[in-house]
Amino acid sequence: MFARFSVFAILVAFVSSSAIDKRAAPVNQLVGYATLNGGTTGGAGGATTTVTTLAALRAAITGATPKIVQISGIITGDGDTIDVGNHTTIVGVGSNSGVTGGGFRVKKGTNVIFRNLQLSKSPAPTDLIELQTSTNIWVDHNTFTSDLDHDKDFYDGQLDMNHGTDFVTVSWNVFQQHFKCSLVGGSDNTGDEDSGHLRVTYHHNHFLEINSRTPSLRFGTAHIYSNFFDNVLTSAVDSRDGAQVLIEDNQFTNVVDPIETTLNGGFAVQRSNIFTNTTIETTIAAGTLTTVPYTYTADGASTVSSIVVASAGAGKVTGL
């Protein structure tokens, strides 16, 4: 009886994992631009501390010594930035740990990982995460949540990058209920510091009920693959000011203006995407970004919505 039960249990486990998990891409591995320039390891090798208060969080993440800081529970911010030092991993415990009412900033920093965090409702001008003049950042398996009840400028960005930031990977996150999701390149006037930088990979993210900027990119270079754009109300990928974007193997469902190039002088290459209830503009300014300088495994557009819904966001990977 016991033996028969075990065989049955193994069969069930096998059948259900093969039915759900058609994923080709690893769910637990850094790929993309953050692997370049020496790679991104965060606080690997450093001491681990666990924090439950804003003061303890601020203290734990400063300084350049490698460190892993676990947040346990939801910490309420004070609306101001929470500044992150070099060589830091910030990771949530379980499925409901993170910060509300404030956001992180990496300024003139390097080598930071944000993982498994619930981040919500930071009043402007503080973004949920802002990367300023920083390199080698991995933003993975977080859930960013706001609301669309306020004016579009009540919150600022969910994940903004500016002033020459470079080598960033944004993977397996849920970005939901927000007006201005991810602005890469803060101004039309910063070409001197941004041109040749702002290299970002977005893969396997779920953009759910977002108004715009998934992302909006000025001057930089973005590789956007195997994401699920799920109800985007104004515009999704907005390539501006000479930016080059490669958009492949994504699913766009109920998206207004999925790929914009001509409005503000950007470029894009799009291939192997699926557009459902979505009209793609016929005048995409053809870009030059057709290959990227790293290896990666895309999931095909037809499988992306189920894969991303199953595996993106906080609570899907544990630990580091």
Ligand X SMILES: *[C@@H]1O[C@H](CO)[C@@H](O)[C@H](O)[C@H]1NC(C)=O
How far is the C-alpha of 274 from the C-alpha of 239, rounded, in Å?
19
Among 43, 109, 287, 313, binds ligand X (CB under 6 A): 109
Q: Is 13 exposed, middle or buried (0-12, 13-18, 19+ CB in 10 A)?
A: exposed
**189 or 276: CB nearest ligand X:** 276
Q: Are strands 88-92 and 143-145 parallel, antiparallel or unpaired?
A: unpaired
Assess 254 for contact with ligand X (CB under 6 A). Answer: yes
Taking CB under 6 A as the rule, which mask of x and - marks residues 24-63 in contact with ligand X? Answer: ----------------------------------------
Contact between 64 and ligand X (CB under 6 A)?
yes
Longest dimension (CA), the chain: 73
Q: How big, in percent rounded to 5, are the helix, strand and coil portions of the chain? A: 15, 40, 50
Only segment of 18-26, 43-51, 107-115, 292-300 that touches ligand X (CB under 6 A) = 107-115
Please select the residue that binds ligand X; options are 16, 276, 288, 302, rule is CB under 6 A: 276
Binding span for ligand X by CB under 6 A among 46-54, 96-104, 106-114, 164-172: 106-114
Structure tokens at 301: 């557009």
Among residues 76 and 276, whose Cβ is nearest to ligand X? 276
Give the one residue of 48, 72, 277, 279 binding ligand X; rule: CB under 6 A.
277
CB atoms within 10 A of CB 11: 10
- Cβ proximity to ligand X: between 116 and 176 the closer is 176
Q: Measured between alpha carbons, how far is 244 from 269 in angstroms, rounded to an integer?
A: 8
Token pair of 314 as six digits: 């906080």
Q: Which is nearer to ligand X, 167 or 172 (CB)?
A: 167
Q: How far is the CB of 155 from ligand X (least distance, A)?
A: 26
Closest CB to ligand X among residues 64, 263:
64
Active site amino acids: 213
Nearer to ligand X, 12 or 64 (CB): 64
Q: Does 65 contact ligand X by CB under 6 A?
A: no
**In the structure, how many helices (H) and strands (E) does the chain have?**
4, 27
Instruction: Kindly state the smallest distance separating residue 273's Cβ from ligand X, in Å.
Output: 15
Residue among 35, 89, 110, 118 that touches ligand X (CB under 6 A): 110
Nearest Cα to Cα of residue 163 among 184, 133, 136, 135: 133
Q: Which residue has the tokens 């990928």?
A: 237
Q: What angle do CA 306, 261, 309 make, to 5 degrees?
A: 10
Asked if 302 interacts with ligand X (CB under 6 A), we say: no
Instruction: Say whether residue 279 binds ligand X (CB under 6 A).
Output: no
Q: Which tokens hold the place of 106?
A: 């990496």
In the complex, minimum distance from the CB of residue 78 to ligand X, in angstroms, rounded to a whole number? 23
3-class DSSP assignment, residue 213 = coil
d(CA 227, CA 182): 14
CB of 114 to ligand X, least distance (A): 16
* Adjacent-strand bridge partners of 88: 67, 112
Q: What residues make contact with ligand X under the rule CB under 6 A?
A: 64, 86, 108-110, 253-254, 276-277
